[in-house]
Structure 1
Amino acid sequence: MLEFLSKELSDQLRAAQQTRQRRKSRLRVHVDQVEYPVLRLWVDGMALQVEGLSHLRGLVDIYDGSRHVLQCLIIASELDGNELICTFKRATAVSDKPALDYWRDESLPVAYLPKA
């Protein structure tokens, strides 16, 4: 449908769609005390809004509002129009508890009760 519209109108529609995606997404990438909005996130990558950013590599933190969600290692990034497409090597979910280094049996009691 966009091929039948004038270039100015199709550019305005794309800009409005990107603005809507940016407002809808609460996800943000924190890199060196700078925040970048995440437009889309998938299993092994994400799309960022380009605002003076030409490439991005290394370890980044992804936040949902103020909650730390993921820690990702970006191995490649490329510009695609007004978006920066980043590819992850790993994306680790952040937990509020320390990792266990042993297997915990689910059927064991959590605490001991004193004899009454």
Structure 2
Amino acid sequence: MIEFLPKDVADELAKARIAQQAKKTRLRVEVGDEMIPLVRLTSTHFAISKDLAPRLRGLVDIYDGSRHLYQALVVATSFDGDAVVFEFKRNTATCTGPALDFERDENAPVALLPN
């Protein structure tokens, strides 16, 4: 059906679809102090709206709402309609606790109880 629509109408429909996806998602990429909503996130890349896309290159942080998911090294690779696709050079999941560099004892206390 889209093949029969005039080009300007099809372009506006694509922009509206991307804007709707950006409103629905809680996924955001943070660059410095700027938070940009993601259109799509996969294991190899993410996409953001062409209108909102700054020249991203380097280290970014990816959030789901307020939860920090990944710290990634990215580079812009292509355009997908009205979205800019950024591929991961490195994508590291963040940890919620400190890194353990020793073996934990099975009988170690879980917490310290006051007297």
**Letter of the aligned partner of 2:109 in structure 1?**
A
Q: Which runs of 5+ in 2 are unaligned?
A: 111-115
Q: Which runs of 4+ in 1 moved over 2 A?
A: 50-55, 102-105, 108-112
Normalising to structure 1: TM-score of the pair?
0.80
Instruction: Tell me the matched-pair count.
Output: 109
**Residue 4 (structure 1) aligns with:** 4
**Letter of the aligned partner of 1:111 in structure 2?**
P
Identity %: 42
Contact 1:29 1:60 (8 Å CA) reproduced = yes
**Residue 111 (structure 1) aligns with:** 109
Contact 2:14 2:82 (8 Å CA) reproduced = no
RMSD of the alignment, in Å?
2.1
Q: Which runs of 5+ in 1 are unaligned?
A: none
- The whole-number CA distance in structure 1 between the counterparts of 2:44 and 2:103 is 28
More displaced 10-residue stretch of structure 1: 17-26 or 94-103: 94-103
Are residue 77 (structure 1) and residue 79 (structure 2) matched? no
Normalising to structure 2: TM-score of the pair?
0.81
**Letter of the aligned partner of 1:77 in structure 2?**
A
